[in-house]
Chain A
Amino acid sequence: MKDYNQETLLKELQNQTELILEKAISNWQLVPHSKFALKPSAETWSANECLQHLNSYGRYYLPAIEESLKKATSNSSANHFSSGWLGNYFTKLMLPDTNGLASKKMKAPKDHQPKQILESHLVLTEFIDQQEKLLQLLQMAKQVDLNKSKIGISIAPFIKLKLGDVFMFLVAHLARHTNQAERALENAGLERGKMLMPLFSKVA
């Protein structure tokens, strides 16, 4: 399977997570609930629903990763991480195709479907908390061998993935749904990269 330089991989995952977190803090925090929770159509998720979906994954995986990192006995980080076939499959499933568009549409697993409309500021707060946590975990993971630690997948915990694969899947999944959220916000009338804040337009 695919081989990665561990340090480079973790750095790249941190960079991607950082970009998304930056966007959430500087743009999405200022979007009113009415726009954040607006569904582009009956069958498509609002930005709020996208984040609720992401949060439900984070709620399972982040504590599992933290647990795994605490238990890791080897103090030597590995030079190389070898992606397992299942992990690699999940990650690939999340990535956009060659045109930059989302690959095949999928229905989210039942446990990870947003069930009710929550206040967007609550959803966003949890989302921001989770990305801060993810960044810390990626940093901690530099001391550990990503090949050795294993984590069960949320919908079938008896199926284990390597820690490196879980990180890759999480970030790819994050990118997929935050892109989806951006499209939903565009649909709600927000320009990409701009936010609604005419009163406080004097920004740093």
Chain B
Amino acid sequence: MKSFHMSTPSHAFASSFGKIGPALLSVGTLILAWELYARFSGISPTMLPAPSRVVTQAIQSWPALLDNTLPTISATLLGFACSLMAAFIFSVLIDFFKPLRRALFPVFIISQTLPLVAIAPLIVLWFGFGLTPKIMLVALVTFFPMLVALVQGYAATDEDIEALLASMGASPLRIFLLARLPSSLPYFFAGLRISITYAVVGAIFAEYAGAAKGLGIYILNAKNNFRPDLVLAAVLVSATLTLVLFGTTVLIQRLAMPWDRLAGEHKP
């Protein structure tokens, strides 16, 4: 395990490049190959636009893109917030009343097997073109992973800590708050990182099935107008959005769990 102290800026730079360097290299190679193929193979830009063209088009259509990105962001965040709240409430209920797990999990698992292609148009049909069906779809795809993460997290509590608290006379509720809830944090954040990527995809899919505005409907329109460059520009925006949300969860985890990165440090 690496445990050296970073003393100088050049060390820090070298170390962070060491971490992201390989990723930059692989993505860069891929984009370069694509650019070269699009330019020199004679393929039509309406079939496969070069990355450079996608970026120029994205910049040119920026107002329209932004106008369609904001509804996607609100659908993603609102849907995810609802899903988190529901997952937390159900996880606590399941933790305190174990038989609930057997009653509820089959229902939730079935909900995960529903194909989005089928369910998205139905929800739009039932709840209209507004924000509600998007929130519901985002919640549908993110709820179960979050619930599983939390339930697993509670179960991962150190038995010694629970026995210690019990010997101190702590009630089951105190034990939950003092030990089980904090123990679930690493699992919660792992679930969060996975779910947030599902959330963006879920929102775009819901818009694809029917919306006034949003990246999903923008992609559908661009496709119908034979503009693959604009489809890919929207994909670029959604990928950036996902990366930003992913990075935010990592940042929140660092702030919420400052002890998590200390294990490899120098000990007195």
Q: Do A and B bind each other?
A: no
